[in-house]
Structure 1
Amino acid sequence: MQPWALVTPASRGIGLELARRLLQTTNVPVVATARKDLDQTREHVLKGLTDVKEERLHVLRVDVLDEHSISSAASEAARLFPRKEAYLHLSLCMPGLLFPEKSPTQIDYDDALLTFRTNTLGPMMLLKHFSPFLPRKSTELVQAAGLPKQAVWATMSARVGSISDNQLGGWYSYRASKAAVNQVTKTFDNYLRTSAGDKALSISMHPGTVKTGLSKEFWSNVKEGKLFTADFAAEKLMDVINSRSLNDRGRCWDWKGEEVPP
């Protein structure tokens, strides 16, 4: 069986750096997705990776607001990696959008709806179409260098999605959408317990505050040493993913490997 990895989206930020890191630290094929400019995304992922075989990278179009694009990408993945011959060992589900409402009066219906469609429904639709590629109980896993022991479906969450840790308020739609992501993670992991047993697990991840477009408005408010580069975040997140055990399933973990409480 051939293991492969999925990074969606991978056009910029942490997703881009995760795709690059997987190409450098593993030997498995990597499916990277972008909403547009697929050739440019491919160029950015491969930039400077002179020792990487370019045929290992497959760039597919996925717009998490368009289920048809997700379905079409899954069909292409099935062509590239027939389920009798390959399985999805690592899925990095990264969609994210933030509108920072500081008070209830700043909540805009359309912006809040777009936040949930991107941050919560996007990962749910990716689950719908790509989770069938994950191993089943009968699948013989391949231990590949640079990848976790079990197959892992990892979805980007955030510390502000924690209800018990919410001391400041604000960011209503973003907080709620990420809390929902953590619920989806737990629910999906319950499903994997039945379908895959100890062969696959689901977790959420908190990368810290990363210097990307998502957080640009808040860079000046971050404590010294706590604003991370996307490359650093990708390195730390892969360390966390690769060190998870079955006891860690269904929960949210930060870049240090510490649990983010529900």
Structure 2
Amino acid sequence: MTNIIQVEDSSANIAIVIGASSKIAIALIQRLSGANASPNVVAISRQFSATARADFDSNVTLLQSDYTDKSIREICEQLKPHKGQVSHVFICNGMLHDADISPEKRVDDVSGDNLHGVFQVNAVIPMLWVKYLKPVLAGKRNCVVTAFSARIGSIEDNQRGGWYSYRASKAALNMLLKTAAIEYTRIAKGVRFLVFHPGTTDTPLSKPFQKFVSEGKLFTPEFVAGRLLDLVEAETVDNSIRFIDWDGKSIPW
């Protein structure tokens, strides 16, 4: 099997960024690829704009995926020669709304099609990456797998209701990852999971709701990327999984 990343040092770090066209993901890639002792970065997305391609350094490998089961499986097969090299995985996929879907304010607004679509992006796709990356991450190599969740996915913290599909899909993601973390402790002892709430960030996902954000609480993608990388580097093998916010504070499950 041919290596998709050409590295001279077999011990060189590799960071995988999935959902790499989001603003936070782009900021992450730029920080990772420009850092001292920077890892080789694999950026995965449905498509890459010409601007994004121009902004990435030469140590960034771009892979396209339509996020079907088959596509995810095939990319992870390509990554197998790099077993033992992956130090970071960032799963940045997420959906709150699109042209046809808006957060439901009332139970009357809930539809099966919308539930299915939001769950597919927010829970199913991230879990398929966790499934198919297992052979790549198996072993003793320390690696932090970060998935973007949301405080709104906390069952205990739900005091306001509403946003049925988004809340439930993020709660499902949290449970899937918490369960996977237990299994990973048996086959990949160096892997830790970080379930991350980035706060309200100035991206298309939050754009319709930014007028409700308190002053000083709307973050730039660059700020969130920097905070996340600081938190990832501070993770220890004592934690198989944590659910935290951008400030490093624990969120109840």
TM-score (norm 1): 0.85
1:259 matches 2:250: yes
Q: Structure 2 counterpart of 1:119, which letter?
A: N
Secondary structure of the residue aligned to 1:18 is helix
Secondary structure of the residue aligned to 1:202 is strand
Aligned to 1:144: none
Q: Whole-Å Cα distance in 2 between the matches of residues 29 and 94 of structure 1?
A: 18
- Following superposition, the deviation at residue 208 of structure 1 comes to 0.4
The answer to whether the 8 Å contact 2:195/2:244 transfers is: yes
- Following superposition, the deviation at residue 206 of structure 1 comes to 0.5
1:20 matches 2:23: no
1:208 matches 2:210: no
The answer to whether the 8 Å contact 1:87/1:135 transfers is: no
1:110 matches 2:102: no
- Following superposition, the deviation at residue 24 of structure 1 comes to 1.5
Q: Structure 1 counterpart of 2:90, which letter?
A: L
Displaced runs of 4 or more, over 6 A: none
Q: Whole-Å Cα distance in 1 between the matches of residues 66 and 201 of structure 2?
A: 23
- Following superposition, the deviation at residue 67 of structure 1 comes to 1.6
Q: Percent identical across equivalent pairs?
A: 35
Could you tell me which of 63, 68, 71 is aligned with 1:69?
71
Secondary structure of the residue aligned to 2:129 is helix
Residues 89-140 of structure 1 deviation map (CA, whole Å, 9 limit, x = unaligned): 1100111011311111111221211100000000011112223211413xxx
Secondary structure of the residue aligned to 1:21 is helix
TM-score (norm 2): 0.88
Q: Whole-Å Cα distance in 2 between the matches of residues 114 and 204 of structure 1?
A: 21
Q: Whole-Å Cα distance in 1 between the matches of residues 79 and 237 of structure 2?
A: 27
Q: Structure 2 counterpart of 1:189, which letter?
A: A
- Following superposition, the deviation at residue 201 of structure 1 comes to 1.1
Q: Structure 1 counterpart of 2:94, which letter?
A: G
Q: Structure 2 counterpart of 1:33, which letter?
A: I
1:247 matches 2:249: no
Query: Using a 3 Å threshold, how does the CA distance of structure 1 residues 70 and 8 change in structure 2: closer, same or farther?
Result: same
Q: How many residues align?
A: 237
Residues 133-175 of structure 1 deviation map (CA, whole Å, 9 limit, x = unaligned): 11413xxx4xxxxxxxx31111110000001111111111101
1:169 matches 2:169: no
Q: Structure 2 counterpart of 1:94, which letter?
A: C
The answer to whether the 8 Å contact 1:70/1:129 transfers is: yes
1:97 matches 2:92: no
Structure 1, unaligned stretches of length 5 or more? 47-51, 142-149
Q: Whole-Å Cα distance in 2 between the matches of residues 82 and 256 of structure 1?
A: 32
Q: Structure 1 counterpart of 2:241, which letter?
A: G
Aligned to 1:191: 183
Secondary structure of the residue aligned to 2:89 is strand
Query: Using a 3 Å threshold, how does the CA distance of structure 1 residues 244 and 37 change in structure 2: closer, same or farther?
Result: closer
Structure 2, unaligned stretches of length 5 or more? 1-10, 97-101
Aligned to 2:8: none
